[in-house]
A and B are shown apart, each in its own frame.
Chain A
Amino acid sequence: MQSGDKNIQWYQTKFKAFEQSLNGEKAAAVHSLRRDAMRWFAELGFPTTRQEEWRFTNVLPISKLEFHPILRFESNGITRDRMRPYLIEGAIQLVFINGMYASELSDRGALQRDVIAGGLSDIMKKNPEKIKPYLANQVKGEENGFTALNTAFLRDGACILVPRDIVLERPIQMLFVASDSSFPYLSQPRNLIIAGVHSQFKIAETFVGVAQNTYLTNSVTEIVLEDQAIVEHDKVQRESLNAYHIGTTHLRMNAGSSYTSNVFSLGGSIVRNNNSVELAAEGIECTLNGLSLGAGTQVIDNHTAIDHAMPHCNSHELYKAILDGASKGVFNGKIFVRKDAQKTDAKQTNKTLLLSDDTTINTKPQLEIFADDVKCTHGATIGQLDAEQVFYLRSRGIDLASARDILTFAFAADIVNRVTIEPLRAQLEEAIQRGLKQSHRV
């Protein structure tokens, strides 16, 4: 534990410097959250493979390094031109550099009445009363070392507040750009998304590394869907292949609301997505989809947890992975069905396509059911490309390599086609086609 202790000290020192820089802001309520979280971090440290939740994903490469927390905005030479391939045309674009809101690079256009969308730090100052009931309500920082670290250095991130009855015509994009750097740094966006009663909108969360440097993105996103709200949330992660990405999303859903999440993991060296959903009332529809593309020595871990607390809720889950090279995939899908959650309909599917002999997948459905009138199913498949399908394509004149590409892309397209933000889907298709071609060459 020597190196672990040393590591905790590194962040404690950084925290002290951060506190000193805050001056008067230290009195703000948010700072007591930070202090608590720092204490938790000192107790928890980074997770190890001895913990069940982290058994298959070793974050030692992360805990060994000394990352510099980014607490101040700097553009680091990032221009809109540079971001062009990742921006979603027609969307409300919120841009962040290393986790800090870049208002100059953002394009909010004319926001619809009463809609708030921008940097959390600004909005916390301007509308503290709107933030207070929600911030760190679902993720306090005591969950694990990563959420503790995020909360301890809570500074900025995306904040989207859509009041009741508002239907957003344009999707909202949160583009998190990681700049190049000569030292390893820590980007920790803290995002808050509140969908008011009867509101409806789509959000795209894009993470992009513009260089091949080493950094850690450790993001935490808290989302609340009030009654009858409808939200599509697409997350596309294209970090540098030398970067680490830990993404935690906690979602609370209220009566009759509907949420669809599509999580695409393309980049990153070690990637962990924690996606937790609380179905807190009746009549909820929750859909969680994911697609991971692993190559080289990438480790891509998706942990999902759906808590059916109330009756008459449906959850559907489809996570897919395409693994090549010596990459590793992890899927852990928890579904809790509590005593009162009668008439629950929960379906979980995990499918993995292995393109090489050196890949590993650990898949674990974890269903805990305490109600007696429910429908819960789960299934996992792991396999290679279907030889019959490959032959069918070849028998029509398509060469072996193209047949494999077509079938592999079709496996991915199943998830890509669920994204309804058209320009994002086009970006994804291109990135995935390119990613698959590259991985074949390795």
Chain B
Amino acid sequence: MTRAGLATRLAVLALLVAAPAMLDTYRTFLLTEILIFGLFAASLDLLLGYTGLPSLGHAGYFGVGGYAAGLFALHVTPNAFAQLAVALGVAAGVALVTGVFAVRSRGVYFLMLTLAFGQLLWVLALNWTSLTGGSNGIYGIPAPTLGGSSSWLVPSDHFYWYTLGVFLVGYVALKFVVASPFGRALAGIRGNEERMGSLGYSVPLSKLAVFTLAGAIAGFAGALACQQSKYFSPDGMSFDVSAVAVVVIVIGGQRTLLGAVLGAAFYYVMRDQLSDALSSHWQLVLGAVFVLVVYLLPGGLVSGGRRLQRRVVR
């Protein structure tokens, strides 16, 4: 890492830590949402960008994590970290079981099979009323607690700092994974699956591992979402959530992780600003943005930023 790179990272980190002091409660809440969705989208980027596995059902694991955390909070303990751990484990388990079938298919077939799994999980949440409360969802979830303090996480800036910490753990873990030999094997699978197989890598096993890992981190993010709103319903894991995650990655730029987070920020801020101004034609603007990004900004925000940077430096 260059010195300038390190300085930039530290500056961004300092800015993120200081953010609640500069923002009102509502904007702090929005920034928290962005971090949560950014982590979720980054976990999808691991599949979609790095491994070339376009999942359209990733919200299913986000939802499994959300419900696991919420139900654990309702019935067992309000401890925040315990909920995160349970959500991580349950989402990993569900991703492992569905992944066994999903990773046997490729391309558009993989896309549609993961869509089917995501929708089946959603239908399950909608109909398993005794556990999930059906379409009403689970509510009345106690505020999460940290250690001995029962109310420290209640103010929105405290919850933001907690989310920032958890986000950084997840984000850095993803960074390590993509830089590791396993991450390079994933890139090899994206480039040429047959060749990786001939080189002696177990392609199905690597795919299953990354599918499970991505699902686990999605569940982790889902738990955060549930802790923030103290509520979770099937809407939180619907097809729209999966689709928005894909869109956010393409807007931000694939295979960067940062792109997923920037894309999430772009999407949430735009939705926040535009739904005030033209609430009825939000879809029209969103559609126009998609079209413009594809035609004018190939590679998304991150590559656009890099091109700009190169031009400025020169």
Question: A and B from one assembly?
Answer: no
Q: List residues of chain A with CB under 8 Å of any chain B CB.
A: none
